[in-house]
Amino acid sequence: MRADLHIHTCLSPCADRQMSPPAVVRWGLERGLHLIAVCDHNSAENVEASTRAAADTRLVVLGGMEISSREEVHVLGIFPDDLTLRSAQEAVYANLSGENDPEAFGEQLVMNEQGEVVRRNDRLLIGAIGLSLEEVVRTIHRLGGLAIAAHVDRPSFSVLSQLGFIPSGLGLDGAEVCSDDLPPLPEGLAVIRSSDAHRPEEIGSRYTRFLVERPTASEIGMALWRVEGRRIVT
């Protein structure tokens, strides 16, 4: 199964306006993906529209967020269902302050499954929330989600760029790389490849092959931890 677990929509201020929910689904299908995770910055408000846009297709959409911790470390939180995703959203919003400046950071568009603008999100989604990295990972796990360190191969907003190391006992489910470079990581930590797509043509440019029984967050978690034959296929 081909999965790209880090795709932004036009809700992220740094993403192209063309990244509407139906466009994301269409490009995912064209790239031969079986599963994607919509992970906008500190918000999941375009997940439902993306799921609906994919309803009559073979593409499965998982709900998630790219959460920025107090240390400005980006963590992908991927959740098993709508209920846990909403709870995660509430926890993030409760610890997120500031108001977006569209001219400085870009618009934050909430859309429906047809790609029509429903409203604009005025929160400072590009900012860091008030929870530490450890608290972010703990919150994700408390809600039954997967915590994956985002783009650890990049020189900014990664756990390695911000802290210089991955704290022992952090309990990450995996680490994401978005290039061919693989930095030193703790032994046994699962590594996935994702596109971190902000523009349509980037979707599926990097992906991970999973050997799983079903395209679900639970099965992805089993593959990350190599449980009962599930695994990442290199």
pLDDT in tens, 4-17: 999 999 999 999 99
Angle between helices 133-142 and 82-94 (to 10 degrees): 150
What pLDDT score was predicted for residue 181?
A: 84
Full residue range of the structural domain in which residue 133 is found = 2-233
Residue 234 pLDDT > 80: no
Strand ranges inside 46-190, DSSP E: 60-68, 74-79, 109-111, 117-120, 146-149, 174-177
What is the per-residue pLDDT across 99-119, written as a single tens digit (0 to 9) for each?
999 999 999 999 999 999 999
| pLDDT exceeds cutoff 80 at 40 | yes
* CATH (domain of 122): 3.20.20.140
Residue 161 has a pLDDT of: 97
> For the chain, what is the mean pLDDT?
97
pLDDT mean over 66-89: 98
Q: Give the model's confidence band at 166: pLDDT under 50 very low, under 70 low, under 90 confident, else very high.
A: very high
Q: What percent of the chain has pLDDT over 70?
A: 100
Residue 232: band (very low, low, confident or very high) from pLDDT cuts 50, 70, 90: very high
User: Quick check: 61 pLDDT over 90?
Assistant: yes
Instruction: Give how many domains the chain has, as a whole number.
Output: 1
> Does residue 124 carry a pLDDT above 90?
yes
Q: What is the DSSP letter of 130?
A: S
d(CA 143, CA 96): 18
What does the pLDDT look like over 183-224, one tens digit per residue? Answer: 999 999 999 999 999 999 999 999 999 999 999 999 999 999
Q: Are 153 and 161 in contact (CB under 8 A)?
A: no
Give the pLDDT score at 62: 98
